[in-house]
């Protein structure tokens, strides 16, 4: 009788479990930003968490769109507590599996994870299959221009028919405009705080223009990737001066005072369009 070979014999060991600031995290050792940061520092982009700590409250409903392996999802789930809810969306299958593993490792029961992309209209999108056994920025994959890969459902925020929505984090590598376009009814109804990545110069003006049309005030937030007071007390800065380029956005009807942040300049508009 022939004994079957172990199924892991030809599979590269890419994952490692580590104790991190908000719990146990499974990480890919080949990921050049999130995985590396968790491995070296036990945290990722703690400057963003410091902002979210001020606006995410117990009982809130938070959408984590572009959740990756769940660094923010785990923080949100702890922050909103047992009466809150986190909905996390990650379209890359292997990354999504790690997201689910991280929720399970930490006994998180108030997070719902979906292997979907979020966009302007329901449908499908092609997600390329990356080589996770080689070094890469697995959170930097832009979608919308690919023809080879796995077909993944696209949902809209409005199609979720949420009974409540307090905060939406959007980190979708250039698809931010599409996500917001598919969330118009939700934004008008609940006026949630938004945290939106805006690091694509060719798309920045269009994104800012849409948020202005939706009646949101925008403030730049550029937290450095390296935190000198990191969880592991590791003084080595492997990220140099690299920062995340994001916008904190509050609906203009919401009474909130933002101190020390620079407002995003809105493109001037004329009667016939943007000038």
CB neighbours of 66 closer than 8 A, spacing ≥ 6? 89, 90, 139, 169, 170, 171, 172, 173, 197
Rounded mean pLDDT for each run of 10 residues along the chain, 275 residues in total: 49 85 94 94 96 96 97 98 97 94 98 96 86 60 62 95 97 89 97 92 88 96 96 97 94 85 78 41
Structural domains in the chain, CATH included, are 45-253 (3.40.50.150)
What is the per-residue pLDDT for 82? 96
pLDDT in tens, 195-214: 999 877 778 889 999 999 99
What is the per-residue pLDDT for 253? 93
Q: 274 is written with which tokens? A: 């943007």
What is the per-residue pLDDT for 274? 41
Q: How far is the C-alpha of 163 from the C-alpha of 155, rounded, in Å?
A: 17
Q: How far is the C-alpha of 23 from the C-alpha of 195, rounded, in Å?
A: 23
pTM of this structure: 0.89
Q: How far is the C-alpha of 191 from the C-alpha of 184, rounded, in Å?
A: 10
What is the per-residue pLDDT for 141? 55
Write out the chain in H/E/C secondary structure: CCCCCCCCCCCCCCEEEEEECCEEEEEECCECCHHHHHHHHCCCCHHHHHHHHHHCCCCCEEEEECCCCCHHHHHHHHHHCCCCEEEEECCCHHHHHHHHHHHHHCCCCCEEEECCEECCCCEEEEECCCCCCCCECCCCCCCCCCCCCEEEEEECCHHHCCCCCCEEEECCCCCHHHHHHCCHHHHHHHCCEEEEECCCHHHHHHHHHHHHHCCEEEEEECCECCCCCCCCCCCCCCCCCCECCEEEEEECCCCCCCCCCCECCCCCEECCEEC
């Amino acid at each position: 009788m022939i004994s079957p070979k172990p199924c892991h014999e030809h599979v590269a060991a890419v994952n490692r479990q580590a104790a991190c600031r908000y719990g146990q995290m499974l990480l890919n050792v080949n990921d050049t930003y999130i995985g590396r940061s968790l491995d070296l520092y036990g945290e990722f982009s703690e400057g963003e968490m410091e902002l979210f700590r001020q606006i995410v409250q117990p009982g809130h409903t938070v959408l984590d769109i572009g959740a990756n392996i769940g660094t923010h999802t785990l923080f949100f789930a702890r922050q909103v507590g047992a009466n809150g809810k986190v909905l996390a969306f990650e379209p890359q299958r292997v990354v999504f599996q790690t997201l689910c593993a991280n929720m399970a490792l930490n006994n998180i029961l108030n997070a719902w994870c979906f292997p979907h992309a979020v966009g302007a209209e329901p449908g499908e999108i092609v997600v390329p299959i990356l080589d996770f056994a080689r070094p890469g920025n697995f959170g930097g994959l832009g979608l919308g221009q690919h023809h080879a890969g796995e077909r993944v459902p696209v949902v809209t925020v409005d199609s979720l028919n949420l009974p409540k929505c307090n905060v939406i984090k959007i980190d979708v590598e250039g698809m931010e405009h599409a996500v917001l376009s598919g969330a118009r009814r939700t934004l008008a109804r609940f006026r949630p705080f938004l945290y939106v990545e805006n690091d694509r110069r060719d798309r920045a003006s269009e994104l800012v223009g849409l948020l202005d049309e939706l009646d949101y005030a925008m403030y730049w937030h550029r937290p450095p990737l390296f935190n000198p007071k990191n969880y592991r007390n590791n003084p080595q800065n492997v990220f140099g001066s690299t920062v995340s380029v994001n916008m904190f956005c509050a609906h203009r009807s919401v009474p909130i005072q933002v101190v020390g942040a620079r407002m995003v300049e809105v493109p001037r508009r004329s009667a016939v369009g943007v000038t």
